[in-house]
Amino acid sequence: MKKEYNKNLFNAVVKGEGEPVLCISGFGCDHYNFSWLDFGAEMTLLDNRGMGESENNLEAYPLELLATDAHGFMQSIGHDSYHVVGISMGGIIAQECALQFPAHVKSLSLICTTGGGEDFHPLPKLTEKDLKDFYSLPPERGARLAVQATCSDKNKMEEIINLRLKHPARVEEVLKQKRAVDNYLRQSKDLSQIKCPTLIMTGTNDRYVAPVNSKILKEKIPHSWLIPIEGADHLCFLEKPEIVSAHVAQFLNGEVCYDLAQ
């Protein structure tokens, strides 16, 4: 599905039936982050600006604009209120959706993500030169390095590498996204203003976004629950998609596994 919004063409894959759920992918990724997830709902898998088949008519933008993009897209397909599930950078955008459009966001599910400001542990240092060097590698070599650094399940690695290879990103758009993320993470947001129910999940072995950041999110966001995904790395949503899907589906149905939640 492609829709024009804010003078830009956006692409999304819509699958399933039920409650509308906006699904926002992570850094440098299109909708493939959600390929193996099933929430028992109508899932709108949006390609962020400049990713996948979504265009980008700007040379630079704030990360907040990606939340505006996402909300506008959901309204353009007839959903005035909806749930939001965000993965990694998509989790930051999801928080922005709840802050900017509180009357429209019914719930948040934040997977392996973080927040801005000094209270959160920083992400591993990544320069623009690092990114340019990475994207100059042969695609298979780059995909393998990226997955090996974020996946602990050796039995899933080849599947994930092949999935990533089918969804390449354009380095010039990744660099724009990096600048937006870097600028955003320098500032603190008042997450106590997020009033909707929020489910937070983190892989206990996440080597990219420190799991403690999920605990900090829980402390800052009212009406939130934290569920660790045992033994999973940053790609917990691809390593253990059945477990992640089940927790989100229960949450969307108004249930929380209180015996697991912290």
124-137, pLDDT tens digit by residue?
A: 999 999 999 999 99
168: pLDDT strictly greater than 60: yes
Report the pLDDT value the prediction gives residue 257, as an integer from 0 to 100.
Answer: 55
H-assigned helices in the chain: 64-76, 89-100, 128-135, 139-148, 157-165, 171-185, 212-220, 236-239, 241-252
pLDDT of res. 255: 80
* Lowest mean per-residue pLDDT among 4-13, 97-106, 120-129, 243-252: 4-13
Tokens 């393998």 identify what position? 144
Residue 163: CB partners within 8 Å, gap ≥ 6?
Answer: 32, 35, 238
Q: Which domains does the chain carry?
A: 2-252 (3.40.50.1820)
What is the arithmetic mean of pLDDT over 207-219?
98
Q: In the predicted model, is pLDDT for residue 2 greater than 70?
A: yes
At 109, the amino acid letter reads: S
- Residue 146's pLDDT is what? 98
pLDDT in tens, 38-81: 999 999 999 999 999 999 999 999 999 999 999 999 999 999 99
Whether residue 227 contacts residue 201, with contact meaning beta carbons closer than 8 Å, is answered with yes
3-state SS class at 233:
coil
The mean pLDDT of 86-110, rounded to a whole number, is 98
Pairing of strands 82-87, 42-46: unpaired
Q: Under a CB-based contact definition with an 8 Å cutoff, are residues 91 and 111 in contact?
A: yes
What integer best gives the mean pLDDT of the chain? 96
What residues form DSSP beta bridges with 86? 24, 110
Cα–Cα distance for residue pair 10/46, rounded to 1 Å:
8
Q: In the chain, what percentage of residues exceed pLDDT 90?
A: 95
Give the whole-angstrom CA distance, residue 102 versus residue 107: 10
Contact predicate 183/63, CB 8 Å: yes
Is 6 a residue whose pLDDT tops 90?
no
Pull the structure tokens for residue 250. 């229960």
Rounded to the nearest 5 percent, the helix, strand and coil shares of the chain are 40, 20, 45
* Residue 99 predicted with pLDDT over 80: yes
For residue 261, the model assigns a pLDDT of 53
- Residue 50, classed as helix, strand or coil, is coil
pLDDT of residue 253: 93
Average pLDDT of the segment spanning 117-124: 97
pLDDT digits (tens, 9 = 90+) for 226-237: 999 999 999 999
